[in-house]
Amino acid sequence: MARAPRIVVQPPSPTGGRRVRVDGVILGVAYGVTDFLEFLRRAGLEDVEFLDLETSPLIEWRGGGPTVW
């Protein structure tokens, strides 16, 4: 069985946006949920539109949850 990826969303930067990492690899800086989900799609995660951003054990939010950008 494949291991689930570890997704870490860093706190918002002073200039805006949050750095997104999957398994330690920086995917980029997201400026909102749309950017975040696109990074996950590009990383190969399937059905990201059904991912519960608030409670998913795959995502570690640092410095605020998915409503903080």
For the chain, the domain total comes to: 1
Q: pTM of the full predicted structure?
A: 0.89
The pLDDT tens digits for 10-69 are 999 998 899 999 999 999 999 999 999 999 999 999 899 899 999 999 999 999 999 999
Q: Is residue 39 part of a domain?
A: yes
Residue range(s) defining the domain that contains residue 36: 7-61
Distance, in Å, from the CA atom of 65 to the CA atom of 11, rounded to the nearest integer, reads 9
Q: Is residue 45 part of a domain?
A: yes
Using DSSP's 3-state secondary structure scheme, residue 30 falls into strand
Q: How high is the pLDDT of residue 5? A: 73
Question: What is the β-pairing status of strands 25-30 and 18-22?
Answer: antiparallel
At 1, the pLDDT band (50, 70, 90 cuts) reads: low
